[in-house]
Structure 1
Amino acid sequence: MKAVHFGAGNIGRGFIGKLLSDANVAVTFADVDAPLVDQLSHDQSYKVKVVGSQCQIDTVTHVTAVNSASQDVIDRIVKTDLVTTAVGPNVLDIIAKTIATGLSQRFDAGNLKPLNIIACENMVRGTTHLKNEVYKHLDETYHQRADVLVGFVDSAVDRIVPPSEAANDPLEVTVESFSEWIVDKQQFKGDIPAIEGMETTENLMAFVERKLFTLNTGHIMTAYLGALKGHETVRDAIEDQDIRKQVKAAMQESGEVLIRRYGFDRDMHNAYIEKILGRFANPHLRDDIDRVGRQPIRKLGENDRLIKPLLGTIEYGSSNSTLLKGIAAALIYTNETDPQAIELQASLTEHGVRPTLAHYTGLAQDSAEAKQIEALYLQLR
């Protein structure tokens, strides 16, 4: 079995690429980083340091790489069995044209085998979004054939992959031992590939929101509350007992939404929260707060990790005081190397808290929540 994977960064190599290779899938990475592509195509292997209660180093094989802006990647799509991505939500729109070109040439070449495409991104229904973008670039004469032969499979992914500290090996990547890759079994075309570590479900949104409302909400709460107190890493912040207490409270607030919406067992979900807190405290992972906290505008979006669970608490009339504090902390976050953080601070200076909230989050300026966030913002500064 062959796969084309867009994105040869740490997540691509350490998570999806590794799972595919471990399942004896021949993986071709597609990326625009020419030195990275050259080294991957030359070495055709790389090391992954897996850290949990113990550490081990695995070697990933069966891999090569091509430039994602070249004809080479089109040629691979023509013949591949699977396409996956780990490029970040903003880059999906860019690679959509390449995938559309690959599909049209695949059909022209007479390849009528089913092809499944899975976007493995931190976004809700990312593959559905990618499909819509691909179809914009795909000539309408191919749409019916694509509807029949191409499965756009939504997924939920979860693995912490911090920047690697292996200065002598640019390909080595560090990952935590925990990983979760859940896909919507109803969206596949043809046989579902047997890949250990890829789980199928008929209720994907429950798992998408469980991850978004727990791992992502907790991670960003830890980062923004940690930044307020001058911590440098997620582990430093979560070992601050005051922050840990608040992060846990925020995940319980978002968890109440999940329990009511999807019928999750309360005790099992509380155990899941404890597991997430343990992952943040992994002594072998150095996860910088600025890596987690970057792009605050995206993370304050109405479908993202702070506002979406907040909207759920409003829907169900449940408590949300800690989530509101996390949103206020997000507004305070500064990072002179992050364009979004700079833009957010400029908006706050020019327009004030509630107009900025309304613009970036969709919360009404005169809502009770916006007023509470403004009061917390002024209190925390």
Structure 2
Amino acid sequence: MKAVHFGAGNIGRGFIGKLLSDANVAVTFADVDEPLVDQLSHDQSYKVKVVGSECKIDTVTHVTAVNSASQDVIEQIIHTDMVTTAVGPNVLDIIAKTIATGLTHRFESGNNNPLNIIACENMVRGTTHLKEQVYTHLNAIYHAQADELVGFVDSAVDRIVPPSEAANDPLEVTVESFSEWIVDKQQFRGDIPAIEGMETTDNLMAFVERKLFTLNTGHIITAYLGALKGHETVRDAIEDCEIREQVKAAMQESGEVLIRRYGFDRDMHNAYIEKILGRFANPYLRDEIDRVGRQPIRKLGANDRLIKPLLGTIEYGTENGTLLKGIAAAFKYTNDIDPQAIELQTSLKENGLCETLAKYTGLDAESSEAKQIETLYQAL
């Protein structure tokens, strides 16, 4: 079995690329970073440092790479069995045209084998979004053929992959031992491939929101509260007892939405929260606050990790005081090299908190939640 994986960065190599390779899938990475592509093509292997209760080094082998802006990636799509991505939500729209071109050549070559495409991104229904973008670039004469032969499979992914510290080996990547890759089994075309570490479900949104409302919500609130207190890493912040207590409370508030919406067992979900807190405190991971906190505008979006759980608490009439504080802390986040952080702070200076809040989150500037966030913001 063969796969083309867009994105040869740390997440691509350390998470999805590794799982595919471990399952004896021949992986071709596609990326625009020419030196990275050259080295992967030359070495055809790389090391992954897996850290949990202990450290171990795994070697991923039988991989190669092509430039995602070249004709080579089109040739790969013609003959591959699977396409996966780990490029970040903003880049999906860019690679959609490449995938559409690859599908066109695949159909014109007479390849009528099923192809499954899975966007492994931190976004809700990312593959469905990718499909919409691909179809805008795919000639309408091929839409019916694509509907029949191409599965656009939504997924939920979870693994902390911080920047690697192996200065002598640019291909080495560090990952935590925990990983979760859950896919919507109803969206596949042809047989579902047996890949250890890829779980199937017919209720994907329950797992998408469990991860978004727990790992992502907790992670970002840890970062923003940690930044306010001058902590450099997520571990430093979560070991601050005051921050840990507030992060846990926020995840319990978002968790109440999940329990009511999907019927999750309360004790099991509380155990999941404790597992997440333990992951944040992993002594082998140096996860920088600024890596987690960057792109605050995206993370304040209506369907993302802060506002979506808040909207759930409003829907069910449940507690949300700590989530509101986390949102207030997001507006305090500064980063002189992050365009989104700069834009957010500029808007705050020019327009004030409530107008900025409404602009980027969609919350009503006159709502009680907006007023509470403003009060918390001024108190931070």
SS of equivalent to 2:181 = strand
1:69 aligns with 2:87: no
- SS of the residue corresponding to residue 121 of structure 1 reads coil
Counterpart residue type for residue 91 of structure 1:
V
Equivalent in the alignment of 2:209: 209
Q: What secondary structure, in the 3-state scheme, does the structure 2 residue paired with 1:132 have?
A: helix
- The residue number in structure 2 matching 1:115 is 115
Secondary structure of 1:269's aligned partner = helix
- What is the aligned partner in structure 2 of residue 52 from structure 1? 52
Alpha-carbon separation, structure 2, partners of 1:332 and 1:180:
31
AA aligned opposite 1:160: I
Superposition pairs for residues 98-109 of structure 1, below 5 Å? 98-109=98-109
Structure 1 segments, 4+ long, off by >2 Å, are none
Distance 2:23 2:233 in 1: 33
SS in 2 for 1:332: coil
Alignment correspondent of 2:34: 34
Matches within 5 A, 1:100-179: 100-179=100-179
Please give the per-residue CA displacement for 1:39-87, whole angstroms capped at 9, x wherever unaligned: 0000000000000001100000110000000000000000000000000
- Residues 297-356 of structure 1 deviation map (CA, whole Å, 9 limit, x = unaligned): 000000000000000000000000000000000000000000000000000000000000
TM alignment of 1:216-295, pairs within 5 A: 216-295=216-295
Q: Partners of 1:61 and 1:121 in 2: how far apart?
A: 24
CA shift digits 1:91-114 (9 cap, x unpaired) = 000000000000000000000000
Q: How does 1:12-31 map to 2 (within 5 A)?
A: 12-31=12-31
TM alignment of 1:76-115, pairs within 5 A: 76-115=76-115
Q: What is the distance in 2 between the residues matched to 1:114 and 1:105?
A: 15
CA distance in 2, matches of 1:61, 1:143: 36
Q: What secondary structure, in the 3-state scheme, does the structure 1 residue paired with 2:200 have?
A: strand
Question: What is the alpha-carbon distance in structure 1 between the residues aligned to residue 166 and residue 321 of structure 2?
Answer: 41
Q: Quick one: distance in 2 between partners of 1:74 and 1:324? A: 46
Q: Match of 1:260, SS? A: helix
Distance 1:281 1:62 in 2: 33
* Paired AA for residue 325 in structure 1: K
One-letter amino acid matched to 2:267: D
Tell me how far apart the structure 1 counterparts of residues 265 and 25 of structure 2 sit (CA, whole Å).
36
**Mapped partners of 2:37, 2:152: distance in 1:** 26
Q: Does 1:304 align with 2:312?
A: no
Inter-partner Cα distance in structure 1 for 2:376 and 2:128 = 37
Secondary structure of 2:118's aligned partner: strand
Cα distance in 1 for partners of 2:78, 2:203 equals 31
- Determine the C-alpha separation between the residues in 2 that align with 1:158 and 1:62: 24
Deviation digits for residues 261-305 of structure 1, max 9, x if unmatched?
000000000000000000000000000000000000000000000
1:264 aligned partner, one-letter code = F
- 1:330 is aligned to 330
1:62 and 1:352 map into 2 onto residues whose CA distance is: 54
- 2:43 partner amino acid: D
- For residues 159 and 79 of structure 1, the distance between their equivalents in structure 2, rounded to whole angstroms, comes to 29
Structure 2 match to 1:376: 376
Shift of 1:215: 0.1
Q: Unmatched 5+ residue regions in structure 2?
A: none
CA–CA separation in structure 2 for the residues paired with 1:113 and 1:194: 17
**Paired amino acid for 2:104:** S
Number of aligned positions between the proteins: 380
CA RMSD between the two structures: 0.2
TM-score, structure 1 as length reference: 1.00
Letter in 2 for 1:29: F
SS in 2 for 1:175: strand
CA distance in 2, matches of 1:58, 1:15: 12
1:2 paired with 2:6, answer: no
Cα separation, 2, equivalents of 1:364 and 1:62 = 53
Distance in 1, matches of 2:255 and 2:90, equals 28
Partner SS for 2:47: strand
Give me the TM-score of the superposition, normalised by structure 2.
Answer: 1.00
Task: Report the residue type matching 2:156 in the other structure.
Answer: A
Aligned partners of 2:28 and 2:60: how far apart in 1?
A: 12
Using the alignment, how far apart are the partners of 2:145 and 2:307 within structure 1?
38
Give the 3-state SS of the residue equivalent to 2:331 in structure 1. Answer: helix
Alpha-carbon distance in 2 for matches of 1:274, 1:225: 19
d(CA) in 1 for partners of 2:144, 2:309: 37
